[in-house]
Structure 1
Amino acid sequence: MTTFVDRVELHVAAGNGGHGVASVMREKFKPLGGPDGGNGGRGGDVILVVDQDVTTLLEYHHHPHRKATNGQPGAGDNRSGKNGEDLVLPVPDGTVVLDRAGNVLADLVGQGTTFVAGQGGRGGLGNAALASARRKAPGFALLGVPGEARDIVLELKTVADVALVGYPSAGKSSLISVLSAAKPKIADYPFTTLVPNLGVVTAGSTVYTIADVPGLIPGASQGKGLGLEFLRHVERCEVLVHVLDTATLEADRDPVSDLDMIEEELKQYGGLENRPRMVVLNKIDVPDGKDLADIIRPDLEERGYHVYEVSAVAHMGLKELSFALAEVVSKARAARPVQESTRIVIRPQAVDDAGFTVTEEGENFYRVRGEKPERWVRQTDFNNDEAVGYLADRLNRLGVEDALRKSGAHAGDGIAIGPEDNAVVFDWEPMMAAGAEMLGRRGEDHRMEAPRPAAQRRKDRDVARDEADQEYEGFKPF
């Protein structure tokens, strides 16, 4: 049974915004008291948050589809719909978020770090919010915007100060078990370690974390064995420690060739050239192991490595190694750039940015792309002529009509608003955007107008009577 997963594909869907509602206040002796339709609620977000108690992505391996709740629709009497609840997904420290193309979206390091993986949809406005001096009684409301849905990839890169690398059965798990309180599975056959083990070491006043990376073999960087699955776990480590087996029983292996092979795999993986290296010659409690360590140590030191001879089983040389690692880790931490306090970056819109684009796609066909036009289309109820007219007015005010004319569009040409897989297509009628004149003053209801004063009503009645008398006086029978 799988108990450790460090890479998953997650399908997230934020909540949809609730629809606004078109409603008219109705009271005794006042059947048309004005629009009172409430707004729809906002859809819930999908949020990733770093939780130190989570160490694996196993939960998302078993349940890869996650969805936040939708916002509720509005109601009459100016009652807005309830917002959808955010879906918070805990992830391990060191999780990298990528899109399906491999582009990094976020690097989540540090307790409480968050990333909004899916943005909840806006709630639609009710007709009360759409009312204005010109549009006193809108007979329509806006629809809620669908929540963002996308596929993301989560990759876990272990956050540790020291990474132990080496051949299978070189003694990495044994070493981490005696340096820290970690209790990894230990055996003398290859690939005993199937997951990275993490331990905490205290050396004087320095506390650091140490991880043993599952055994690497030739070709690991190209996917052979377990190496490719776990090479990513050494990326965040400050120090790389080669653990070499000086008591190997395999005739075709020796510690120096093991070191060269591991270095070649790290080079092929890339990005680790500047990390400090140390060499640990393990199993010196075995007589042949001690003799071999004495032979190869000068050669390794000539290469510039700091070499330490230890025995994880006999607890030999561990204190010296622990403090040496603490010193290197302390220097690496001191060399880190100081992180600046969080700043708000303001990116103003360019003065020549219209907020949308118009592109010609084939003969007599144009596509409009932009955040506002696409959102407005999703909010429009196309079964309501008044709502369609309102959309046309909004597009006209944004400048879409003028941009289409400049691009060469003519009446009857096909216009698509939105991406290819989710667009609204219609035949363009240039006068439609100015269609307030075609339908009259859209959204107005003369029954909603305030009653005339009594004096004005009497005056209008007298005028009407005089006009009728004059017409009668001019009447001549046959």
Structure 2
Amino acid sequence: MTTFVDRVVLHLQAGDGGHGCVSIHREKFKPFGGPDGGNGGHGGSVRLVVDPQVHTLLDFHFRPHVKAPSGNGGAGSNRDGANGGDLVLTVPNGTVVLDQDGTVLADLVGAGTTFEAARGGRGGRGNASLASSRRKAPGFAELGEPGEHLDVVLELKSVADVGLVGFPSAGKSSLISVISAAKPKIADYPFTTLVPNLGVVRVDSHTFTVADVPGLIPGAASGKGLGLEFLRHIERCAVLVHVVDTATLELDRDPLADIDALEAELSEYGGLADRPRLVALNKIDVPDGRDLAEMVRPDLEARGFRVFEISTATREGLKELTFAMAQLVEENRAATPIIEPTRIVIRPTAVDDAGFTIEAESDGSYTVRGSRPERWVRQTNFDNDEAVGYLADRLARLGVEEKLAKAGAQPGDLVRIGEREFDWQPTLYAGAEFVPNVRGADQRLEEKSTRANAAERLAARKARRQRPADELGTETSADADTAAEDVDDVE
């Protein structure tokens, strides 16, 4: 059974906002007491929070689909719907959040670090909140905004100061078990360690963490073996230690060749060239191992490595190695600049910033982009004429109509806002005033529809008059009267 997972794909769905309510207050002797529809509740967001007690992404491996609760709808008597609670997911320290394209969205390091991965939708306003001096009793309410829906990739990169690298069975797990309290699985066959192990080492007043990376072999950076899966765990390490088996029974291996092979893999993986290296020649408790360590030590030191001859079985040389680790870690910490607390900078919106842009497409259509117009469209009930008229008024006040005209849009051109498409009809809104009428209706829309139908009937009459007499037949007096009425309607 899988017990360690360091990469998962999460399918996130934030909660939808609740719909606003359309309600009119009624009581005895007060049949129309004014609008009292409440607002819908906001949908819950999905948040990722670093928990030091969590060490793997295993839970998400079995439950990759995550959905936050939605907000409740509003109700009459000015009762607002309840907000959907945020869904908090705990992740290990060092979790990196990426989108499907590989772009880093957040790097979560430090207990309590929080990232809002998917934002919940806004609740729609009820007709009580939409009432104004012009619309005293709105017959519509706003719809709740859908919550964000996206897929993210979580990758765990261990937060360790020292990374142990080496061939399988070189003694990395044994080393981490004797210098820390970690208890990894240890056996005398290759690839015993299948997951990274993390241990805390204390040397005098210094404390640092050590991680061993399993499965590094030639070709690991290209996907061979297990190395590619775990190379990411040494990206945060300040110091790398080559653990070399000097008592190996494989005739085609020697310490120098092992280090060259691993350095080639680290170079191919990239981003690790500036990390200081130490070399630990392990298993000197074996006579042949001690002899080989003494032979290759001068060559390694000539390459600039600090070399330590150690034995995890007898613990020989471990004190010197751990002190050298602590020294390099302290030097790295001293050289790392202190990150100042983030200051929130508030930049007011420019005076001439309309909050939207208009793009002319190659097919002759126009696309309006902007958070406000797109949100307004999502929250509009297009089955309600009064709600559509209210949206038109808002877009006109924002300046969308004016900028579309300046961009060259003509009546009947296709205009996209968010996921909606419209045939632009500027005469419907330009200079028009809302006149209170039947709730849920808009007189301007009704007039537009009536004029369009009359114009169609008039065009049909004209077409019939232009046809030859033998095809047209005799026109009745009733048809002539109807045509005259159509002309009067249009004019």
How high is the TM-score relative to the length of structure 2?
Answer: 0.87
Structure 1 stretches of 4+ with a deviation exceeding 4 A read 438-445
Map of 1:321-332 to 2, 5 A cutoff? Answer: 321-332=321-332
**1: CA distance, partners of 2:289 / 2:30:** 99
User: What is the total number of aligned residue pairs between the two structures?
Assistant: 441
**2: CA distance, partners of 1:85 / 1:438:** 39
Instruction: Give deviations 1:343-380, integer Å, cap 9, x for gaps.
Output: 11324334443221222224442221211111100100
Contact 2:51 2:91 in 1 (8 A): yes
Partner of 1:388: 388
Contact 1:142 1:380 in 2 (8 A): yes
1:182 Cα offset (Å): 0.8
**2: CA distance, partners of 1:348 / 1:90:** 35
Q: Which amino acid aligns with 2:344?
A: I
Q: 1:430 to 1:238 in 2, by over 3 A?
A: same
Contact 1:136 1:443 in 2 (8 A): no
Instruction: Give deviations 1:233-259, integer Å, cap 9, x for gaps.
Output: 000111100001111111111001110
Map of 1:44-83 to 2, 5 A cutoff? Answer: 44-83=44-83
Contact 1:170 1:243 in 2 (8 A): yes
Partner of 1:214: 214
Instruction: Give deviations 1:250-295, integer Å, cap 9, x for gaps.
Output: 1111001110111111111111111111110000000011011111
Partner of 2:110: 110
Q: Which amino acid aligns with 1:429?
A: Q
Partner of 1:469: none
Find out whether 1:249 has 2:245 as its counterpart: no
Find out whether 1:22 has 2:22 as its counterpart: yes
Q: Which amino acid aligns with 1:158?
A: S
Instruction: Give deviations 1:13-32, integer Å, cap 9, x for gaps.
Output: 10000000111111211111
Moved more, 299-308 or 91-100: 299-308
Partner of 2:156: 156
Partner of 2:133: 133
Q: Which amino acid aligns with 2:425?
A: E
Q: Which amino acid aligns with 2:428?
A: M
1:433 Cα offset (Å): 3.0
Q: Which amino acid aligns with 2:332?
A: A
SS at match of 2:388: helix
1:444 Cα offset (Å): 11
Match of 1:429 among 400, 418, 425: 425
Contact 1:135 1:442 in 2 (8 A): no
**2: CA distance, partners of 1:221 / 1:204:** 37
Partner of 1:202: 202
Gaps of 5+ in 1: 446-478
Instruction: Give deviations 1:374-410, integer Å, cap 9, x for gaps.
Output: 1100100001100000000111111111111112111
**1: CA distance, partners of 2:386 / 2:408:** 28
Q: Which amino acid aligns with 1:12?
A: L
1:323 Cα offset (Å): 1.7
Contact 1:389 1:432 in 2 (8 A): no
Contact 1:23 1:36 in 2 (8 A): yes
Instruction: Give deviations 1:130-182, integer Å, cap 9, x for gaps.
Output: 11122211111100100011000000000111100011111000100111111
Partner of 1:333: 333
1:439 Cα offset (Å): 4.8
Partner of 1:31: 31
**2: CA distance, partners of 1:144 / 1:350:** 29
Contact 1:135 1:441 in 2 (8 A): no
Q: 1:357 to 1:178 in 2, by over 3 A?
A: same
Q: Which amino acid aligns with 1:271?
A: G
Q: 1:357 to 1:305 in 2, by over 3 A?
A: same
Contact 1:39 1:79 in 2 (8 A): yes
Percent identity, aligned pairs only, is 69
Q: 1:335 to 1:442 in 2, by over 3 A?
A: farther
Q: 1:332 to 1:438 in 2, by over 3 A?
A: closer
Instruction: Give deviations 1:105-150, integer Å, cap 9, x for gaps.
Output: 0000000000000001000001111111222111111001000110
How high is the TM-score relative to the length of structure 1?
Answer: 0.90
SS at match of 2:422: strand
SS at match of 2:106: strand
Q: Which amino acid aligns with 2:325?
A: L
Partner of 2:85: 85
**1: CA distance, partners of 2:435 / 2:218:** 76
Q: 1:55 to 1:289 in 2, by over 3 A?
A: same
**1: CA distance, partners of 2:115 / 2:153:** 13
Partner of 1:176: 176
Q: Which amino acid aligns with 1:92?
A: P
**2: CA distance, partners of 1:338 / 1:131:** 53
Partner of 1:466: none
**2: CA distance, partners of 1:228 / 1:63:** 25
Instruction: Give deviations 1:185-239, integer Å, cap 9, x for gaps.
Output: 1112221111000111111111111110002111111111111100000001111
Partner of 1:313: 313
SS at match of 2:340: coil
Contact 2:385 2:440 in 1 (8 A): no
**1: CA distance, partners of 2:30 / 2:116:** 47
Gaps of 5+ in 2: 442-491
Partner of 1:300: 300
Find out whether 1:269 has 2:269 as its counterpart: yes
Contact 1:134 1:441 in 2 (8 A): no
Partner of 1:456: none
Contact 1:19 1:143 in 2 (8 A): yes
Q: 1:12 to 1:18 in 2, by over 3 A?
A: same
**1: CA distance, partners of 2:434 / 2:47:** 46
